[in-house]
């Protein structure tokens, strides 16, 4: 993965490491002087003439005119002060980014410089071998680092030990590894090896390869331009001020999915010359045993890249989040250094209280004019292939955010060129389908999706009923413009949703109308299964309904409550605790119906069974009556596809007049008659006798006598 922030040229990083190696050489030489007082024999046995002790090394160095211990210590200190000042003056230097980002003190900075010098210059390993008098060792241990950097000063040695402590930044943020898992309780802390982690080594050498251990958890996002944002200028300005509030700003961006929260951060980060590290909080918390390591790596990655960290919490940080997950999110925010942005669908109250310095920015869904602009911008040169009317229609139907609109537009453009490269066309069904696919939800886990299987020509209803259905459709298509641009949103206190009661006897076409409405608007139709919603235990019905409406908010689906009188029944007088809790369920339904920004259809066989409070909050009521004889004749004829062979003796008017049945039963009788006819042979046809027999059987099942 390419680095989002360009590191200093390799020569600059190389020069720093070379200078650090020079300082390390003086540190090592001074250490040799301190340890030169070793005996010439070991346990009474003379040292081998081939062994080179620290004392031997000091004698050789002194003979060559090298300074003594005190002068070396002063020289090392002077060199280090000069190097540290040069690093401070070059804030883009990889070492400076690491030290400043983690707030390393002088002792910790010396540890990093020493270990980096050992990685940079292999000859230093040989020099260290003289100091610890063991050429088989390849890495220094903690005791050697304390001795080398702390010298004979107890306070300085204590500071180095503190820098290597488990809770100090060097180990907390996975900069330095001390020992290994097998070293615990197996060796003393002073004898555990010390080294820089691979990710830090690559950073100090100018190679900012992304930490592979964070794949699937975090990604670097490409920059965005402010011109790509279709958000109110006030929202952009507030977001800019929030991110610039301090070097460790904590910002909450809350708003529905797809409203452009991440794009806003990407644009503001690009404006400030910083990358964006996007973190999937759900994936981060998925494996509890790996959370600690991942959090440390995330914090380190953000520091090394000088990135703005975006924690994409979505719905996982709402007020229903498990306490364990909530505490981990707060801990993650506390561990991260630099600016942190949390994006949520809602404003979680617990998060606001857990982070006192949290700055909140609400990102509202784009209004219809903004959505039209987003579609036109995303379609680009191909916007003329769709036409302004089609773009306006799909923008009104689907309240998508900028990111979702751009993905939908890219999909529809690609498919248009695939279908006809020479003359691509973008029609409203293709726009609608692409927009619908952008909706991410799990409504299928709490409701049953029904695929529309009818055309408007299949619907046979009285004219006044059809007129009311078309009025409902027109309101649904144009509600965004009606509410936002014409200002009716201020006059309608019960929310933006569209709802209708479909009342009438069984088989009169309520389910068919629900399917046609969903198909005409380009939405999915989900039937709410009452068996999965209603629960005898207190509070469970409300929880189940909350799941339905929460998922529906993200789906733009048409919710269809069949036999709604069983769920939205009249409230009763409180004569027992059961009555009181039943009324609480109805009250909860009323609240969710008011706040739901979608389409809800309530089918009932008995309109009088619906609570009056619901009727006041439902915009439309469509009454389905048993069809008259003439309408029944049309229904009989419309039930047979053109491929069905029909006998010439069928009198549709007689069938309509004789059999008083709703459309659902007529359909069953028609299929029944066709099945009996086809069983007689391939050359047969459906006769009037078949239809009469099938109708009489349906009558019997209805409990009537024909």
pLDDT of residue 65: 59
User: Residue 380 — left, alpha, or beta (φ > 0 → left; ψ -120 to 50 → alpha)?
Assistant: left
- pLDDT recorded at residue 155: 94
For the residues 23-37, what does the mean pLDDT come to?
78
Q: Do 44 and 160 belong to one domain? A: yes
Are the C-beta atoms of 696 and 706 separated by less than 8 Å? yes
* Residue 286, in any domain of the structure: yes
Q: Are residues 181 and 222 in the same domain?
A: no
Instruction: Examine the domain organization and report whether 183 and 273 are in the same domain.
Output: no
How is residue 332 written in tokens? 């993650």
pLDDT in tens, 376-387: 888 888 877 888
Q: Which pLDDT band holds residue 104 (cuts at 50, 70, 90)?
A: very high
| Same domain assignment for residues 15 and 141 | yes
Do 222 and 353 share a domain, yes or no? yes
- Calculated CA dihedral for residues 116, 122, 124, 129, nearest 10 degrees: 120
* Alpha carbons 696 and 606: distance in angstroms, whole number: 26
263-290 burial, b at 16+ Cβ within 10 Å, e below that, comes to: bbbbbbbbeeebbbbbbbbeebbeeeee
Query: Region 226-255: what's the mean pLDDT?
Result: 90
Asked if residue 5 is part of any domain, the answer here is no
- The domain in which residue 510 lies consists of 456-623
Q: Looking at 158-162, 248-252, 437-441, which range is the least confident one?
A: 437-441
Position 230 scores a pLDDT of 75
Q: What is the C-alpha to C-alpha distance for residues 449 and 518, in angstroms, rounded to an integer?
A: 11
Strands 194-196 and 250-254: unpaired
pLDDT above 90: residue 201: yes
pLDDT, residue 578, reads 44
- Which neighbouring-strand residues pair with 359? 251
Rounded CA gap, 368 and 268, in Å? 24
Mean pLDDT, all residues of the chain: 81
Q: What separation in angstroms does the CA of 328 have from each of 230, 276, 291, 336?
A: 33, 21, 9, 12
Q: pLDDT at position 9, please? A: 35
| CB burial of residue 305 (10 Å; 0-12, 13-18, 19+) | buried
Q: What is the pLDDT of residue 119?
A: 92
Q: Are residues 352 and 372 in the same domain?
A: no
Per-residue model confidence (pLDDT) at position 586: 59
pLDDT for residue 663 is more than 70: yes
Question: In the prediction, which pLDDT does 548 show?
Answer: 78
Place of tokens 């069904």: 429
13 is written with which tokens? 């990083």
pLDDT in tens, 58-92: 665 665 557 777 888 888 899 999 999 999 989 98
- Based on the domain organization, do 489 and 554 belong to the same domain? yes
Convert 13-36 into a string of H (helix), E (strand) and C (coil).
HHHHHHHHHHHHHHHHHHHHHHCC
Q: What CA–CA distance (Å, rounded) separates 40 from 48?
A: 10
Are 114 and 30 in contact by the 8 Å Cβ rule? The answer is no
Kind of pairing between the strands at 250-254 and 340-344: parallel
> What CATH number has the domain bearing residue 654?
1.10.8.60
Instruction: Compute the distance between CA of residue 53 and CA of residue 56 in angstroms, rounded to an integer.
Output: 5
Instruction: Tell me which residue of 300, 44, 53 sits closest to 171, measured CA to CA.
Output: 300
Domain assignment present for residue 220? The answer is: yes
Same domain, 328 and 258: yes
Which of 171, 204, 237 terminates a domain? The answer is 204
Residue with tokens 């980002």: 101
Residue 371, pLDDT above cutoff 50: yes
Cα separation values, 355 from 124, 329, 348, Å: 47, 10, 11
Q: How far is CA 497 from the centre of its chain?
A: 25
Residue 699 scores a pLDDT above 70 = yes
CA dihedral for 654, 657, 660, 664, sign (positive or negative): positive
Structure tokens at 105: 């003190």
* Same domain flag for 649 and 593: no
pLDDT over threshold 70, residue 290: yes
Tens-place pLDDT, residues 641-658: 888 899 888 999 998 888
Q: Which residue has the higher pLDDT, 254 or 442?
A: 254
- Render pLDDT for 579-626 as a digit per residue (tens, 0 to 9): 444 455 556 666 676 677 778 888 888 766 666 766 777 788 888 888
Q: Is residue 358 predicted with pLDDT exceeding 60?
A: yes
The answer to whether 663 and 513 have CB atoms below 8 angstroms apart is: no
More confident residue, 192 or 250: 250
Percent of the residues in the chain that have a pLDDT greater than 90, as a whole number? 23
Over residues 472-524, the pLDDT tens digits come to 998 888 887 787 778 777 776 556 678 888 888 888 888 889 989 988 887 88
Name the token pair of 262: 């991440």
671 domain residue, yes or no: yes
Residue 254 forms beta bridges with which residues?
344, 362
| Most confident region among 165-179, 557-571, 661-675 by mean pLDDT | 165-179
| 647 belongs to a structural domain | yes
Q: Are residues 79 and 190 in the same domain?
A: yes
Q: CA 239, 242, 247, 253: dihedral to nearest 10 degrees? A: -70
Considering the domain boundaries, does residue 227 fall inside one?
Answer: yes
Query: What integer pLDDT is reported at residue 199 of this predicted model?
Result: 94
pLDDT of residue 289: 85
- Residue 449 domain-assigned (yes or no): no
CA-to-CA distance for 285 and 291, rounded, in angstroms? 6
Q: Percentage of the chain surpassing pLDDT 70?
A: 81
In a domain, 423, yes or no: yes
Q: What is the pLDDT of residues 378-435, one digit of tens each?
A: 888 887 788 888 888 888 778 787 778 888 888 888 888 888 888 888 888 888 888 8
Range ranked top by mean pLDDT from 20-24, 32-36, 113-117, 333-337: 113-117
Q: Residue 681 has what pLDDT?
A: 79
Tokens representing 159 are 């500071």
Q: Which of 185, 204, 223 is the last residue of a domain?
A: 204
CA atoms within 13 A of residue 543's CA, in its CB half-sphere: 7
Q: Enter the tokens of residue 96.
A: 């400076």
Going 29 to 31 to 37 to 41, the CA torsion angle's sign is negative
Q: What is the pLDDT of residue 271?
A: 94
Residue 182 or 520, more confident? 520
What is the model's pLDDT at position 315? 61
- DSSP per-residue letters across 29-69: HHHHHHT----SEETTEEPPTT---HHHHHHHHHHTT---H
CB atoms within 10 A of CB 225: 11
**Three-class SS of 484-516:** HHCCHHHCCCCCCCEEEEEECCCCCCHHHHHHH
CATH of the domain at 237: 3.40.50.300
First and final CA of the chain: distance in angstroms? 76
Which residues, at least 6 apart from 640, have a Cβ–Cβ distance to it below 8 Å? 646, 670, 674, 686
What is the mean predicted confidence (pLDDT) over 258-268? Answer: 89
Say if CB 247 and CB 338 are below 8 A apart.
yes
Do 231 and 316 lie in a common domain?
yes
For the stretch 549-582, pLDDT in tens is: 777 776 777 888 887 766 665 544 444 444 444 4
Task: Decide which of 589, 623, 657 is a domain's last residue.
Answer: 623
The residues near 388 (Cβ < 8 Å, ≥ 6 apart) are none
321 and 375 together in one domain: no
pLDDT at 558: 86
Q: What is the pLDDT of residue 259?
A: 80
Contact 298, 218 (CB under 8 A): yes
Rounded to two decimals, the pTM is: 0.66
pLDDT of residue 539: 62
Separation between Cα atoms, residue 498 and residue 500, nearest integer Å: 7
Total count of domains within the chain: 5
């Amino acid at each position: 993965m390419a680095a989002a922030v360009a590191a200093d040229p390799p020569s600059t990083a190389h020069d720093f490491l070379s200078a650090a190696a020079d300082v390390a050489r003086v540190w090592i030489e001074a250490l040799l002087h301190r340890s030169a007082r070793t005996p010439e024999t070991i346990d009474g046995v003379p040292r081998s003439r081939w062994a080179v002790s620290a004392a031997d090394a000091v004698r050789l160095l002194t003979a060559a005119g090298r300074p003594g211990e005190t002068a070396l210590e002063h020289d090392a200190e002077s060199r280090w002060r000069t190097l540290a000042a040069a690093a401070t003056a070059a804030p883009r230097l990889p070492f400076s980014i690491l030290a400043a980002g983690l707030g390393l003190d002088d002792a910790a900075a010396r540890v990093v410089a020493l270990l980096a010098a050992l990685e940079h210059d292999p000859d230093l390993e040989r020099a260290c071998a003289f100091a610890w008098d063991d050429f088989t060792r390849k890495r220094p241990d903690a005791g050697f680092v304390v001795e080398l950097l702390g010298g004979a000063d107890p306070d300085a040695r204590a500071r180095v030990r503190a820098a290597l402590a488990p809770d100090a930044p060097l180990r907390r943020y996975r900069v330095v590894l001390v020992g290994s898992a097998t070293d615990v309780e197996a060796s003393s802390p002073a004898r555990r090896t010390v080294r820089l982690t691979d990710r830090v080594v690559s950073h100090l050498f100018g190679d900012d390869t992304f930490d592979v251990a964070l794949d699937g958890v975090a990604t670097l996002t490409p920059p965005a331009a402010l011109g790509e944002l279709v958000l109110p200028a006030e929202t952009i300005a507030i977001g800019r001020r929030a991110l610039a509030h301090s070097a460790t700003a904590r910002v909450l961006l809350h708003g529905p999915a797809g409203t452009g929260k991440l794009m806003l951060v990407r644009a503001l980060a690009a404006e400030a010359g910083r990358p964006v590290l996007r973190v999937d909080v759900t994936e981060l918390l998925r494996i509890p045993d790996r959370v600690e390591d991942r959090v440390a790596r995330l914090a380190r990655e953000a520091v090394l890249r000088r990135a703005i960290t975006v924690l994409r919490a979505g719905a996982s940080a709402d007020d229903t989040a498990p306490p364990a997950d909530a505490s981990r999110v707060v801990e993650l925010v506390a561990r991260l250094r630099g600016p942190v942005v949390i994006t949520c669908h809602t404003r979680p109250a617990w998060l606001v209280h857990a982070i006192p310095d949290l700055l909140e920015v609400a990102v509202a869904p784009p209004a219809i004019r903004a959505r039209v602009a987003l579609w036109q911008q995303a379609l680009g040169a191909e916007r003329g292939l769709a036409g302004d009317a089609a773009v306006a229609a799909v923008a009104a139907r689907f309240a998508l955010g900028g990111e979702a609109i751009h993905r939908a537009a890219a999909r529809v453009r690609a498919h248009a060129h695939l279908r006809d490269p020479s003359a691509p066309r973008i029609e409203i069904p293709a726009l609608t389908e692409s927009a619908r696919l952008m909706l991410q939800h799990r409504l299928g886990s709490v409701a049953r999706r029904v695929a529309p299987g009818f055309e408007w020509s299949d619907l046979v209803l009285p004219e006044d009923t059809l007129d009311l259905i078309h009025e409902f459709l027109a309101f649904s298509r144009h509600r965004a413009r009606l509410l936002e641009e014409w200002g009716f949103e201020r006059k309608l206190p019960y929310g933006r949703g569209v709802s209708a009661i479909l009342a009438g006897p069984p088989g009169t076409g309520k389910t068919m109308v629900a399917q046609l409405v969903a198909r005409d608007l380009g939405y999915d139709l989900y039937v709410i299964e009452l068996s999965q919603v209603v629960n005898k235990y207190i509070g469970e019905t409300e929880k189940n309904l909350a799941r339905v409406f929460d998922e529906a908010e993200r789906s733009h689906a048409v919710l269809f409550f069949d036999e709604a009188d069983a769920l939205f029944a009249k409230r009763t007088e409180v004569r027992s605790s059961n009555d009181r809790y039943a009324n609480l369920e109805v009250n909860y339904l009323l609240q969710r119906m008011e706040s739901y920004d979608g389409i809800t259809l309530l089918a009932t066989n008995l309109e009088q069974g619906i609570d009056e409070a619901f009727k006041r909050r439902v915009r439309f009521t469509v009454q389905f009556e048993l069809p008259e004889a003439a309408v029944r004749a049309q229904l009989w004829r419309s039930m047979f596809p053109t491929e069905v062979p029909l006998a010439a003796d069928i009198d549709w008017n007689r069938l309509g007049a004789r059999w008083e049945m709703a459309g659902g039963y007529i359909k069953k009788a028609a299929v029944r008659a066709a099945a009996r006819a086809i069983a007689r042979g391939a050359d047969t046809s459906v006769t009037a006798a078949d239809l009469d027999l099938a109708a009489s059987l349906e009558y019997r099942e209805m409990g009537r006598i024909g």
